[in-house]
Amino acid sequence: ETGVTQTPRHLVMGMTNKKSLKCEQHLGHNAMYWYKQSAKKPLELMFVYNFKEQTENNSVPSRFSPECPNSSHLFLHLHTLQPEDSALYLCASSQARGAVNTEAFFGQGTRLTVV
């Protein structure tokens, strides 16, 4: 599949579980992002990776741990989450060139429910 692919599409986990979200892009982009989309809130940027290096961490709790093994793959490792962490988690990628940030391409998201 071309574009940005996220797995799984749906995930239900207990507060003591450990799980991982996966994102894959085959667009040749050099930047990848994790966003959280909650009801009634703007999209929240969580992490940014550029050329596999984490360049931003928007004060995200340590129970969320990102990993970017290469420029095509991005993971979000989850452990001891809280019910308020239930949300749609979106992955995106873009090709940033100098001062111009090209459009972000999004995956379809993982709907996470913490019980």
Partner 1 sequence: AQRVTQPEKLLSVFKGAPVELKCNYSYSGSPELFWYVQYSRQRLQLLLRHISRESIKGFTADLNKGETSFHLKKPFAQEEDSAMYYCALTPMDSNYQLIWGAGTKLIIKP
What number of helices (H) and strands (E) belong to the chain?
A: 0, 13
Contact (Cβ atoms closer than 8 angstroms) between residue 49 and residue 55 = yes
What the block records as the tokens of 12 is: 């239900």
DSSP state of 59: S
Binding of residue 72 to partner 1 (CB under 8 A): no
What the block records as the tokens of 90 is: 């979106």
Instruction: Please give the residues from 23 up to 42 whose contact with partner 1 meets the rule CB under 8 A.
Output: 31, 33, 40-42
Instruction: Please give the residues from 42 up to 61 whose contact with partner 1 meets the rule CB under 8 A.
Output: 42-43, 45, 48, 50, 55-56
What the block records as the tokens of 65 is: 């741990």
Residue at token pair 């940033």 = 96
Binding of residue 10 to partner 1 (CB under 8 A): no
Select from 101, 87, 71 the least CA-distant residue to 21: 87
Cβ nearer to partner 1, comparing 13 with 104: 104
Cβ nearer to partner 1, comparing 49 with 64: 49
Binding of residue 101 to partner 1 (CB under 8 A): yes
Binding of residue 87 to partner 1 (CB under 8 A): no
Binding of residue 98 to partner 1 (CB under 8 A): yes
**Under the rule (CB under 8 A), what is the footprint of partner 1?**
4, 31, 33, 40-43, 45, 48, 50, 55-56, 90, 92, 94, 96, 98-101, 103-109
